[in-house]
Amino acid sequence: QSVLTQTPSVSAAPGQKVTISCSGTSSNIGNDFVSWYQQLPGTAPKLLIYDNNKRPSGIPDRFSGSKSGTSATLGITGLQTGDEADYYCGAWDSSLSSVVFGGGTKLTVL
């Protein structure tokens, strides 16, 4: 059972927009920045969003992040088949003194 809660799967057509949600508590999302990671099939995860809504160099602006209270959202616009992946949210949990992840959301681009 993951500390952060994510919907297991989402799907959308190419070119469309999708949102992926992540829910936590006042000890993690409510108290610190949220990050998002993309894991393409058979590869290592990659940092997609940090500090709730910032993109590392090289990440296209089709990817965006937001946070409100104890929930966060990853948005992806102009969906491409290459975006099919598992997406994980992450945060620092001050009660556990550890990094926590969501269970992951599998994105299917139909």
For CA atoms 50, 10, 8, 21, the dihedral sign is: positive
Q: Is 96 an interacting residue with respect to other proteins (CB under 8 A)? A: yes
Stretch that binds other proteins, among 16-24, 61-69, 70-78, 90-98 (CB under 8 A): 90-98
Q: Is 32 an interacting residue with respect to other proteins (CB under 8 A)? A: yes
What's the N-to-C CA distance of the chain in angstroms?
Answer: 29
Closest by Cα among 96, 87, 73, 89 to 26: 96
Helix, strand or coil, per DSSP, at residue 28: coil
Q: Is 45 an interacting residue with respect to other proteins (CB under 8 A)? A: yes
Instruction: Give min distance, CB of 12 to other proteins, in A.
Output: 21
Q: Which is nearer to other proteins, 13 or 51 (CB)?
A: 51
